[in-house]
Amino acid sequence: MDWNRHYTWLSTLLGVIIGALIVVNVYTLIRIRKDRKALQDQGWRKMELVMQSLSDNYVDTIDYKSVTEATLQTLFHQLDPHSVYLPPAELTESETDLAGNFEGIGIQFNVPNDTAIVLEVIPGGPSEKIGLRQGDRILRVDDKDIAGVKFPQDSMVRRMKGPAGTKVTITVRRGHEVIPFEITRGKIPVHSIDASFMVDDTTGYIRLSKFSRTTATEFLTSSAELLAKGMKKLVFDLRDNTGGYFDQALVLSNLFLNKGDNIVYMEGLHRKRSSYRADGRGFLRDVQLVVLINENSASSSEIFAGAIQDNDRGVIVGRRSFGKGLVQEPLYFSDGSGVRLTVARFYTPSGRCIQKPYDEGDEKYAYDIYNRYMDGEMLAADSIKVNKDLEYHTKGGRPVYGGGGIIPDVFVPLDTTRATRFYLDCTRKATSMRFASEWFDSHREELTSIEEYPALINYLDKAGLDRAFLKFAASKDNIRPSGNEEWKQSATYMMPQVRALVGRYSKQGENAFYHLYMDVDETLHAALKAEPLSLSAGQ
């Protein structure tokens, strides 16, 4: 055998094989690179491939529902703070809160001392029809004890609510009697206006808790009633109003603005700019307006406040608002769950973005209000962090600033100077609320017979609440002021609150509470002193 010749043939064959392998490997590498590029280009393709791979190859049976729920929660956690996936129960609760009605028994209650006390029986509701009364203590819901067992308040609500037509047994203590009431649930109207009354001969006050489906209708009714009573100036209280339906903020803004005035515009990557203007037909265009806001005023509250401020239509009083200016669109699924997906941002008429920054992580965003307090912003206007690079101008040329939230025209700090040791001790044990409840128990007939505010004031002035409250605090909670000086300092702040809590049990309800609480409400005092803007929207 010719070994040289054979060696040459083997070398040639080996070269061909190696060359082929190199070509194949190069081709494979090129194909992988192409696949990777294609994967990047296709966006969600990688997730689809992983899911399909799990379905085809995973060693055990997959609980698709739980995996999907967990995946969605994680996915939305990577987006902005207000895009959210809501499981069925959370979606139902979220929508019920803003719907303007819910299905239940028709009461409002408070839990001052581990026992739910009925504050209001909604007129025409199932509870009123069956005989529940203001001041009743709720002991059980069906066969579940809820009094004296640290039962969570949200769980109480869930047990009382239910589909219209279903029955629930509410067992209450009334005086020394224990009475069971079988109540058939029904549709209950929910009001977004907490209070509406005349402060004086020409000044009206409206407090709005949220922008629900019924807000515009409620506001039209309340403001018309105040106009009929002589209102020339309105104090519109949006403190702690976390927002709600966008269209309701538009309707309320339109009532105060002139034709063509910008209200708000929104814009996003996949949403063209949409602008909204006043039609000039609002019947409150000549009413002097003061708007109250604080760090918990958000979303639709900020849209309204921004429209009023940028058009120089009214004075904004309080503290910088929350800074929630992202627009969510809903997406519903057949299993009852849903998505609130951010699709755009809100901008005030001057061009300010309402949304505060959220690019430094969820933790900093979540603690923003706390950080504002620690930085001194709640106590001094000079401590508000203003971004001078984001300066805009109102219709009349006043400077306003972006960067998140609405900065008020008149700043009112938190008042921390009146919190004595006695006051703080009473606050920790809810002494004032429990005293008001016990006072109502022993003065039910007197309080429930009072229909007019002047009569309520006369009653409270003569009731001797100061001495009774001190006695209650000492005997029930073992809390006493250190001396006359501490009580004198505490009383000027505490007793208006106590009077307000007692007055809430009269037929005046929440109107009495907020009217009486005005005595210690520094923001409201500032609003009443506020002068109208000289620029006033070209009027």
Tokens of 384: 């508000």
Which residues have C-beta within 8 Å of that of residue 423, sequence separation ≥ 6?
A: 490, 493, 494
CATH architecture of 193-414: Alpha-Beta Complex (3.90)
What is the Cα–Cα distance from 107 to 160, expressed in whole angstroms?
9
**What would the 3-class secondary structure string for 147-207 be?**
CCCCCCHHHHHHHHCCCCCCEEEEEEEECCEEEEEEEECEEEECCCEEEEEECCCCEEEEE
- Partners of 5 in the β-ladder: none
Write down the residue that tokens 């129960």 correspond to: 89
Of 192, 196, 212, 299, which one is the catalytic site residue?
299
With tokens 């005293």, the residue in question is: 435
The pLDDT value recorded for residue 417 is: 80
Three-class DSSP category at 18: helix
> In which residue are the tokens 């000549």 written?
286
Radius of gyration of the chain (CA): 31
Per-residue pLDDT tens over the stretch 397-444: 999 999 889 999 999 998 888 889 999 999 888 889 889 888 988 898
Pair 265, 275: CB distance under 8 Å:
yes
Q: Which of 194, 310, 409, 521 is catalytic?
A: 310
- From the list 126, 129, 124, 148, the residue with the least C-alpha distance to 138 is 148
Active-site residue, 506 included: no
DSSP 8-state assignment for residue 51: H
Report the distance separating Cα 19 and Cα 15, nearest Å: 6
Question: In which element (H, E) is residue 339 found?
Answer: strand 338-347
Tell me if 487 sits within 8 A of 470, measured CB to CB.
yes
Among the listed residues 311, 310, 199, 290, the one whose alpha carbon sits nearest the alpha carbon of residue 238: 290
Active site residue 299: yes
- Total Cβ atoms within 10 A of residue 491: 18
Q: Is the Cα torsion angle 225, 226, 232, 234 positive or negative in sign?
A: negative
- Express each pLDDT in 366-383 by its tens digit: 888 888 989 899 999 888
Instruction: Look up residue 470 and give its two tokens.
Output: 């001190």
Distance CA 160, CA 155 (A): 9
Averages of pLDDT over runs of 10 residues in the chain (539 residues) are: 50 48 43 51 80 91 90 88 86 66 79 81 78 86 88 83 88 87 84 94 96 94 98 97 93 97 95 95 96 96 98 97 92 88 94 90 84 90 88 95 93 88 90 88 88 94 95 94 92 94 90 94 95 56
SS3 at position 461: helix
Say how far apart CA 22 and CA 468 lie, in whole Å: 96
Strand ranges inside 211-254, DSSP E? 233-237
- 521 vs 519: CA distance, rounded Å: 6
Residue 65 CB neighbours (<10 A): 9
Domain boundaries, the chain: 101-189, 193-414, 421-507
* Amino acid (one-letter) located at 363: E
Q: What is the pLDDT of residue 97?
A: 59
Report residue 254: phi and psi, to 5°: -60, -30
CB 473 within 8 A of CB 494: no
At what angle are helices 246-256 and 215-228 packed, to 10 degrees?
Answer: 20
Question: CA 223, CA 193: separation in Å to the nearest integer?
Answer: 11
Our answer to whether residue 232 is catalytic in this structure is no
**Residues 376, 486, 474, 462, Cα dihedral to 10°:** -100
Write out the two tokens for 88: 């069925």
Strand-strand pairing, 193-198 and 186-189? unpaired
Q: Considering only CA atoms, which of 447, 433, 431 is closest in space to residue 481?
A: 431
Distance CA 296, CA 319 (A): 9
Distance CA 134, CA 504 (A): 11
Backbone angles phi, psi at 145, to 5 degrees: -70, 130
pLDDT at 12: 52
CATH architecture, range 101-189 = Roll (2.30)
Q: What is the SS3 assignment for 522?
A: helix
